[in-house]
Amino acid sequence: MKTILVLGAAALQLPLIKFIKSKGYRVIVVSIKGDYPGFSVADRCIYLDVRDSIGILSEIRNEKNIVGVITDQTDIAVPTVAFLAEQLGLPGNSFQCASTYSNKFLIRELCKQLHIPNPIYIRAIMLADIDLEECHMSFPVMIKPEDNQGSRGVYKCYNWKDIELYFEKSKSFSRTGYVIVEEFFEGAEVVVEGFVYNGQYLLWGIGERRYFDLKDKFIPSQTIFPACISENMRRELLFTEKKIHSILNPSFGMIHSEYLINETTKEFRLVETALRGGGVYISSHLVPLYTGVNNYDLLLKCCLGEKVDIDDIKESFIPASSAYICFYLPEGEIKSITGISQLKTMAEVKKMDLDDISVGMRTQPLENKTMRLGPIIVGTTCRKETESVIDRITHLLSIQVLQSDNKIGRIHWL
């Protein structure tokens, strides 16, 4: 059978794996060992880190029918996908292009060259590298690893003592050993989802993000399509997307970008851009629900070297609305859960990742994106209806947690 190599076996890769199998392909899945659902549906499993490009290449040397290499919703596998595609002579992006997308410093440097609104930044491997005055940067500042994901190692610093406190913590999440210190820009976050094919940029949509109300932690609680932004800001973001991706010029691929926007000052900053679909099922569920287009079908065709017509895809758009909502619980022991059966009856609820939540479970403090609970995926005909459905969900689902002070804690939606 013709075989597709998929990098990643976690829940967010499962929709892609299932889609490929539904098309009649044999699937080899690569990931470190763990309780990952992709392993259970794969035809062969390779238990390696998705960044171990040489090890993976060695493992597949006797596979004769690999016709494509693919991943989604994860940054760290993107360079390996490009490397393997090049080595196997398969359609893909250059390793240099993929590596640039996966490195925050390289993206910052490119934005500076292109005069794309970009936070002022410093690349540092030691504290002595950080000179805020020289860069005309003032507190507060953000510190983050230059090449990680999931908001791990990201901190807001109000003074030099904070930088000293968080520097090594942030650095521990960086594979290169470098961190980025950058200005803090006051604004709302939006995500811009698109697709690039042979130099053409296709905008799927712009989504609005909401955050948990946690001091100095920047963890999204919801992403809703479409975003409520001005038409001028929408045009600015689209122009910026086309500009940066025309320079990076990937052969094909999903594009996920994050921006901070300030409608009052008419300013924006590019936070990051990645050569993959948005996580938390944005690419697998939210984009199709919002556009009516199966973007995995498009991605697979490109991966196989088949031609696609971007103009035809644009014509097939059926604009609607979609969202994911996550939550977290206070630290303690779950004592009761109600409302799940009612959520299952709601036609607008398209998917729920709640099976791992059970009475008796111990909950942990929310430290990064990967520790959010959910998501619950919503699809409706318009933004107003989506907001109404989210309101119903937050009233229906109830989880009570017994905390260490013997008080009962409940769900935090925002």
Is 100 domain-assigned?
no
Cα distance between the two ends of the chain? 47
Q: What proportion of the chain, given as a percentage, has pLDDT over 70?
A: 100
- Backbone φ and ψ for 253, nearest 5 degrees, come out as 145, 160
d(CA 373, CA 413): 10
Is 110 domain-assigned?
no
Three-state secondary structure of 313-331: HHHCCCCCEEEEEEEECCC
- Specify the pLDDT at position 152: 79
Is 278 domain-assigned?
yes
CATH label of the domain that carries residue 139: 3.30.1490.20
d(CA 128, CA 273): 28
- Specify the pLDDT at position 407: 97
Contacts 24+ apart (CB under 8 A), 243-249: 243/114, 243/116, 244/110, 244/111, 244/114, 244/116, 244/270, 244/273, 245/194, 245/196, 245/201, 245/273, 246/199, 246/201, 247/110, 247/114, 248/97, 248/100, 248/101, 248/110, 249/97, 249/199
- Specify the pLDDT at position 257: 97
Judge if 373 and 392 occupy the same domain.
yes
Neighbours of 74 (CB within 10 A): 21
Which residue intervals of 93-204 are DSSP H helices? 95-101, 104-114, 160-171
Q: Are 386 and 321 in contact (CB under 8 A)?
A: yes
User: How much of the chain is helix, strand and coil, in % rounded to 5?
Assistant: 30, 30, 40
d(CA 34, CA 51): 16
Checking if the pLDDT of 149 tops 70, the result is: no
d(CA 207, CA 193): 8
- Specify the pLDDT at position 146: 87
- Specify the pLDDT at position 150: 58
Could you tell me whether strands 44-46 and 26-30 are parallel, antiparallel, or unpaired per DSSP bridges? parallel
Residue 390 belongs to domain spanning: 324-409
Residue indicated by tokens 């691929």: 253
Judge if 334 and 305 occupy the same domain.
no
Could you tell me whether strands 3-7 and 373-380 are parallel, antiparallel, or unpaired per DSSP bridges? unpaired
Judge if 195 and 308 occupy the same domain.
yes
Lowest mean pLDDT among 47-56, 61-70, 101-110, 350-359: 101-110
Is 62 domain-assigned?
yes
Q: Are 24 and 68 in contact (CB under 8 A)?
A: no
- Mean pLDDT for 294-314 is 95
- The pTM of the full predicted model, rounded to 2 decimals, is 0.94
How many structural domains does the chain have? 4
Judge if 305 and 197 occupy the same domain.
yes
d(CA 151, CA 39): 26
Judge if 315 and 340 occupy the same domain.
no
Checking if the pLDDT of 6 tops 70, the result is: yes
Judge if 267 and 158 occupy the same domain.
no
CATH label of the domain that carries residue 208: 3.30.470.20
- Specify the pLDDT at position 216: 79
Judge if 175 and 197 occupy the same domain.
no
Residue where a domain terminates, one of 319, 350, 377: 319
Is 132 domain-assigned?
yes
Is 206 domain-assigned?
yes
- Backbone φ and ψ for 278, nearest 5 degrees, come out as -65, 145
Judge if 288 and 203 occupy the same domain.
yes
Checking if the pLDDT of 43 tops 90, the result is: yes
Interval 64-93: pLDDT, tens: 999 999 999 999 999 999 999 999 999 999
CATH label of the domain that carries residue 20: 3.40.50.20
Judge if 197 and 282 occupy the same domain.
yes
Is 381 domain-assigned?
yes
- C-alpha distances (whole Å) from 233 to each of 7, 238, 276 are 35, 9, 23
